[in-house]
Amino acid sequence: MSVQRKYFGTDGIRGRTGVPPITAEFALKLGWAVGKILAQDGRGTVLIGKDTRISGYMLSAALEAGLIASGLDVFLLGPMPTPGVSYLTRSVGAQVGVVVSASHNPYYDNGIKFFSAEGKKLPDAIECNIENLLDSPMTMVEAHNIGRAKFMEDAAGRYIEFCKSTFLKPHDLKGIKVVIDCANGATYHIAPHVFTELGADVIVIHHQPDGFNINENCGSTHPASLQKAVLQHQAEIGIAFDGDGDRVIFVDHKGEVVDGDELLFVIARSYHDRQILNGGVVGTQMSNLGLEKAFNDLKIPFMRSQVGDRYVMDALAQTGWQLGGEGSGHIICLDKTTTGDGIVCALQVLTALCHSNKTLHELKKGMTKCAQILLNVPVSNGAEIVTDSRVQLVLQQLEKDLQNNGRILLRASGTEPLVRVMVEGNDKAIIRQAAEEIAEIVEKVAKKVT
């Protein structure tokens, strides 16, 4: 059972910029509290990276001041994918890594998340300790113990070389035309170098961030322009990252989107064929039923966690397995790195292509997806609405109607003010009707509650 927290959600602290807690004042004290909790003997090093949204400058500067006031030295990474901060934190021996990002959200949102010295997300207990300290008066260290700050000049180069090292040798990408969509986010100056230096013929789109266009009609959440570019340039594949680079989706040579469930299947089957799959695979409650069936056919163990990469990671730790992920494209390859990494995941998919000598379109056919309807209902108190007896009554009746021909998942989002409705089954018309009925009762109850 997760610990109830005031500020931290499933992926750090996130919200609308300028609205508490996403303010400069809060970030200042948060940096100080993190330093007090995580500094070793009152000293240590912290890395700060960010994505490309305009508010990142304000929040990273405030965090920097708070961390320095606690006695920590700060390395500034500038724009850096979230998994790049994770890698650099553990590779340079820092006490903590900080990422200023709201991932796939619009530019007006932002967030703050942390990595431990091992490059992993902080445990609930440490996040609770940080929150408790936020209620205490902020006091800085003596002047001679104040931390220092400097820019890490070779941060991008280090991360690029690490990503390249995860691609299976002796293969290379020569002769493969790839379109890369950087979502105007943190991968804009990283991903093109990785794939070009591995030999691919690279065409890059959405790689000119201006602080406001991150994730705007581009990236992993909006693949239409990537589909068009793949067909226009007759590319073998298209790769789209989200704003902070921890998610990835593909487009095959026919212009069809290949989502995270399908990518997870392609990687897992390649691992299985090469006899390097350690145990089984972790998905989530949202993973397509077709993924589970495909793994059953291959006799690959499969289990579902709660939704969120934090819970996928927990399940991997409990089982000792190495591979897991979500349909959104947040895929974790623990044999390569310690967190979800869009670029590393993409390279494992390309390794599967090179090893099998098949197209992505061919490889994804090993899994037949069930029809799935996803609806997002805007609400401010999702957890309360989901458990409401009126909503549960409708849910139970619809589950009874579906019997063994489908499944329903209703949950409050951990990162946005939404209730997510997912209905899955063989008949698209039936599951759409069920999803719309659930969304309707959620909206009605939400209006009455507010």
Q: State the catalytic residues.
A: 103
242: left (phi over 0), alpha (psi -120 to 50) or beta: beta
DSSP 300-313: --EEEE-SSHHHHH
For residue 287, which of 377, 422, 415, 437 has the smallest C-alpha distance?
422
Largest CA distance in the chain: 70
Contact 281/300 with Cβ under 8 angstroms? yes
Distance CA 121, CA 98 (A): 10
Chain CA centroid to CA 90, Å: 19
- Give the separation between CA 49 and CA 83, rounded to whole angstroms: 10
- CA quadruple 171, 176, 181, 186: dihedral sign: positive
Q: Are 6 and 131 in contact (CB under 8 A)?
A: yes
Cα–Cα distance, 145 to 47 (Å, whole number): 18
